[in-house]
Amino acid sequence: MPNDLDLRMMARCIELSRDSIAAGELPFGCVICHDEEVVIEATNRVARDGDVTRHAEMVAMSEAQRVLGTKRLSRCTLYTNVEPCAMCCYCIRETRMRKLVYAIRSPIMGGHSKWKILQDKEISGVIPEVFGRVPEIAGAVMREEAEAVWRDWHPMIWRIITFRGCFGGVAQAADEVPRREGFFRRLTLLHRCVRRAFVAHRFVMYPGRTPSLDGPNLPLS
């Protein structure tokens, strides 16, 4: 359950994501706190620096280490409006971050939801000299507010991102394991995939209309 500090820092991340848009970047914002004191705030710098590794989280961790004068951020919490990718999550583990709080889940790229890096006990068990313990994780904090920034920035891109399942959904439990599907369940999923493929085809063929299987296409709002 997020506390008051978590909510205040996430609200700041969402503000920073708007600043990132104004700077010509994608809507990503990050804050790192040492105990309850803000150490650094950052936005994406990929476009401005011409460097794909300059994610908001990477920029923030680099600056936090410089400000605090240490590689270890074991008394720090990282806040970000979108679940960090695998690259960022390995660095979160290597800096020994105490806690991570994010808003929007990333089921395709996320180091928590997809790649399980943040909850991987093996890497810290086998290589404790490099990787810290599993951090405390809080997901879907102020998710709707964070998603609103993306949607307002570019409604069409947000629609495509969510249609493909890249972002969105509630936070996944750390120990959640996909269940083996039965025949009829797989058949239902196949049917859904075919319907989605048909919708996607109409989406590409008629970009100015909302794709629908059940009624007439309506102009996009």
Find the helix packing angle between 56-68 and 86-94, rounded to 10°: 20
Q: What is the pTM of this model?
A: 0.78
What's the rounded Cα separation, in Å, for the pair 104 and 168?
A: 6
Q: How far is CA 45 from CA 33, 88, 90, in A?
A: 20, 14, 19
Helix, strand, or coil (residue 102): strand
What are the b/e assignments for 45-57, b being 16+ CB within 10 Å? Answer: bbeeeeeeebbbb
The DSSP bridge partners found for residue 137 are 100
What's the rounded Cα separation, in Å, for the pair 26 and 208?
A: 24
Query: Token pair for residue 50?
Result: 């011409």
Residue 10: CB atoms within 10 A of its CB come to 25
pLDDT tens-digit series, residues 109-122? 999 999 999 999 99
Q: Which residue has better confidence, 217 or 40?
A: 40
Q: Which of 11, 68, 12 is nearest to 41 (CA)?
A: 12
Task: Provide the annotated active-site residues.
Answer: 57
Residue 182 has pLDDT above 70, yes or no: no
pLDDT tens-digit series, residues 38-62? 999 999 999 999 999 999 999 999 9
Average pLDDT, the chain: 87
- Least confident span in 46-50, 91-95, 174-178, 198-202: 174-178
Contact between 98 and 156 under an 8 Å Cβ cutoff? The reply is no
Report which DSSP code applies to 172.
Answer: P
pLDDT tens-digit series, residues 59-81? 999 999 999 999 999 999 999 99
Burial of 35 (0-12, 13-18, 19+ CB in 10 A): exposed
